[in-house]
Amino acid sequence: MKTMTRRELIKLFGNAAIGTGLLGASNLAFAKQSAHIVIVGGGVGGAAAAKYMRLLNSDVRITIIEPQPQYIFCPGSNEVVADFDTLETLTVDYNTLKSRYAVNVIQDYAQEIDYTGKSLILAKGDVIHYDKLIVSPGPDFKYNAVEGYSKELAEGDFPAAWHAGPQTLTLRDQIKSMPQGGTVLISSPVDPYRCPPAPYERASFIANKLKHTNPTAKILILDSKDDFIFHDVYMDFWKKEHGLGTDNARIEWVPAKNGGHVTKLDTNNRTLTTASGQTLRGDVINIIPPEMAGSFVRMNGLVKGDWAPINSKDFSSKRDKDVYVIGDSAAADPMPKTGYIASNQAKVVTKAIQAELTGKEIGTPFITNNCVAMAAEDWGMTVAETFRYAGNDRAYEESYVMSNPTENPYHRHIRAEVAKNWQRTFRKDIFS
Ligand SMILES: Cc1cc2nc3c(=O)[nH]c(=O)nc-3n(C[C@H](O)[C@H](O)[C@H](O)COP(=O)(O)OP(=O)(O)OC[C@H]3O[C@@H](n4cnc5c(N)ncnc54)[C@H](O)[C@@H]3O)c2cc1C
């Protein structure tokens, strides 16, 4: 798609918006005639919604509300933890969305929805009118699920590193400077959480690094679950590469049934206590807390329990048909919470909005998820899933094909290459 000219931008957003250089810092600047699609969150779901809305419709006005000037992708952040990639690789900005797709980006927090007036109130006080509101602010973490843990500790010496950013670097540095023979404790949460294989991928990458830099170190995964995706593939990898099941195992996995669920953190002694009453000391402690919908979603009455219920045909909220919730905050079972899914949900929503604007039928939504994960640079795995709308607002019907440890070892190599390429192309798909 070509870059928008100044004239085309003015047509979409109005003269005043261009004049301020802010492209519509005030909604008064917008032309009144075309529909205004406002998006909360410029992460995977939100940015994909903006781009694909524009590809479907060159006339609508599109505004993203996002507090950060840049977005850091989580896919690829386990590579940063293990120190074989950098956050810079994963960081993108909003310039292409602004210039090529004429998306107005306002750097602020969305705070409150006025459902009656169809407007959004921002933290700095601006009020933005919307015709359709797409909400994709990602998840929040339940820090208090582990006694003694908190957001402040996650931002300090006990990183969760489940939003890529400074915590990713803290965790990386802690692993690098761990004493010889030290222990890494990883607490893996109950379902659902973003990127189901990622705790096990992280543990594997850390083990691969320590094998060379700190060969007597150990990694203990304390799990609040009894199973996880790619379980058999990871077990096979840990046995073959890290001595799982032997006295010298570099990596161990403790499921919930064996007391893996972590209940308490003691920061002074650097210990975790588990449901079975065991207390374990970690030189590095990585607690991945359980999740819930982002605070914007919870504060605006869009949730039932932890997540936002949606009408499955178009992801409109059960609370208001002009508000759509996608990405990690949505209650979209059986879909996993992944970026791949968030971006495809965005495509369903934008098609539904376009159908409504043009008086057409939206068709039967069909969503795919091609989840790729790695155990090592040459040891990849995939699950290819499809989700078909089952009609009458029932849950989507799922079918899938998944890697298993008995397949031809060459496939692991191919899948690792697929995983690396997928990350690159996915970033491009959303942000360029
Ligand atoms: C370690 C790790 C590895 C992963 N690997 C993969 C992978 O390989 N493949 C895959 O598909 N997925 C992967 N994921 C999952 C993927 O990152 C998420 O599922 C995806 O980012 C969800 O998109 P989202 O739009 O819901 O949230 P996000 O991408 O987190 O975007 C949310 C945005 O909303 C903004 N926001 C929050 N509150 C507000 C507010 N009040 N107002 C305005 N903006 C707000 C935030 O600043 C953020 O930019 C991984 C996740 C992790 C943690």
Please tell me if the CB atom of residue 186 comes closer than 6 angstroms to any atom of ligand 1. Answer: no
Q: Which CATH class is domain 143-289?
A: alpha beta
The whole-model pTM stands at: 0.92
For 58-73, what is the mean pLDDT?
A: 98
Please tell me if the CB atom of residue 109 comes closer than 6 angstroms to any atom of ligand 1. Answer: yes
Q: How much is the pLDDT for 15? A: 42
Residue 87's pLDDT band (boundaries 50, 70, 90)?
Answer: very high
Please tell me if the CB atom of residue 427 comes closer than 6 angstroms to any atom of ligand 1. Answer: no
Q: Which of 38, 44, 89, 93 has most ligand 1 atoms within 8 Å of its beta carbon, as the pocket-test mutant?
A: 44
Q: How much is the pLDDT for 8? A: 52
> Could you report the per-residue pLDDT of 153-203, keeping only the tens digit for each?
999 999 999 999 999 999 999 999 999 999 999 999 999 999 999 999 999
C-alpha triplet 229, 230, 233: angle, nearest 5°: 160
CA 179/CA 192 separation, integer angstroms: 34
For 80-103, what is the mean pLDDT?
A: 97
For 110-116, what is the mean pLDDT?
A: 98
- What is the pLDDT of the chain when averaged over all its residues? 92
CA 203/CA 428 separation, integer angstroms: 27
CA 306/CA 292 separation, integer angstroms: 5
Q: Which CATH class is domain 6-140+292-362?
A: alpha beta
> Could you report the per-residue pLDDT of 269-318, keeping only the tens digit for each?
999 999 999 999 999 999 999 999 999 999 999 999 999 999 999 999 99
Answer whether 105's CB lies under 8 Å from 64's CB.
Answer: yes
pLDDT at 3 over 80: no
- Candidates 210, 204, 394, 174; CA nearest to 284 is 174
Please tell me if the CB atom of residue 419 comes closer than 6 angstroms to any atom of ligand 1. Answer: no
Tell me whether domains 6-140+292-362 and 143-289 share a fold. yes
Distances (CA, A) of 40 to 65, 120, 125, 127, 169: 5, 9, 15, 13, 27
pLDDT at 10 over 60: no
Residue 408's pLDDT band (boundaries 50, 70, 90)?
Answer: confident
User: What's the 127 CA to ligand 1 centre distance in angstroms?
Assistant: 25
Q: How much is the pLDDT for 342? A: 98
Q: How much is the pLDDT for 13? A: 52
**What percent of the chain is predicted at pLDDT more than 70?**
93
CA 177/CA 159 separation, integer angstroms: 15
Q: What number of other Cβ atoms are within 10 A of residue 289's Cβ? A: 23
Task: Judge residue 115's burial from the number of C-beta atoms within 10 Å of its C-beta, 0-12 exposed, 13-18 middle, 19 or more buried.
Answer: middle
CA 144/CA 147 separation, integer angstroms: 6
**In sequence order, what are the beta bridge partners of 194?**
337
pLDDT at 359 over 60: yes
Please tell me if the CB atom of residue 199 comes closer than 6 angstroms to any atom of ligand 1. Answer: no
Distances (CA, A) of 371 to 51, 119, 282, 384: 22, 36, 31, 6
C-alpha triplet 237, 241, 245: angle, nearest 5°: 80
Residue 119's pLDDT band (boundaries 50, 70, 90)?
Answer: very high
pLDDT at 235 over 70: yes
Which contacts qualify for 248-253: CB closer than 8 Å, 24 or more apart?
A: 249/218, 250/207, 250/210, 250/211, 250/215, 250/217, 250/218, 250/219, 251/203, 251/204, 251/207, 251/218, 251/219, 251/220, 251/221, 252/218, 252/219, 252/220, 252/221, 253/200, 253/221, 253/223
Position with higher pLDDT, 361 vs 121: 121
Q: How much is the pLDDT for 21? A: 36
Domain boundaries, given as residue ranges, for the chain: 6-140+292-362, 143-289
Please tell me if the CB atom of residue 300 comes closer than 6 angstroms to any atom of ligand 1. Answer: no
User: What's the 76 CA to ligand 1 centre distance in angstroms?
Assistant: 12
Cis peptide before 192 (omega within 30 of 0): yes
> Could you report the per-residue pLDDT of 12-59, keeping only the tens digit for each?
554 434 333 334 333 333 445 799 999 999 999 999 999 999 999 999
Q: How crowded is the C-beta side of 229, counted as CA atoms within 13 Å? A: 26
pLDDT at 85 over 50: yes
For 375-387, what is the mean pLDDT?
A: 92
Task: Give Rg (Cα) of the chain.
Answer: 22
Please tell me if the CB atom of residue 194 comes closer than 6 angstroms to any atom of ligand 1. Answer: yes
C-alpha triplet 328, 330, 333: angle, nearest 5°: 95
Q: How much is the pLDDT for 12? A: 53
- Candidates 373, 383, 388, 386; CA nearest to 420 is 373
- Candidates 109, 103, 87; CA nearest to 49 is 103
User: What's the 73 CA to ligand 1 centre distance in angstroms?
Assistant: 7
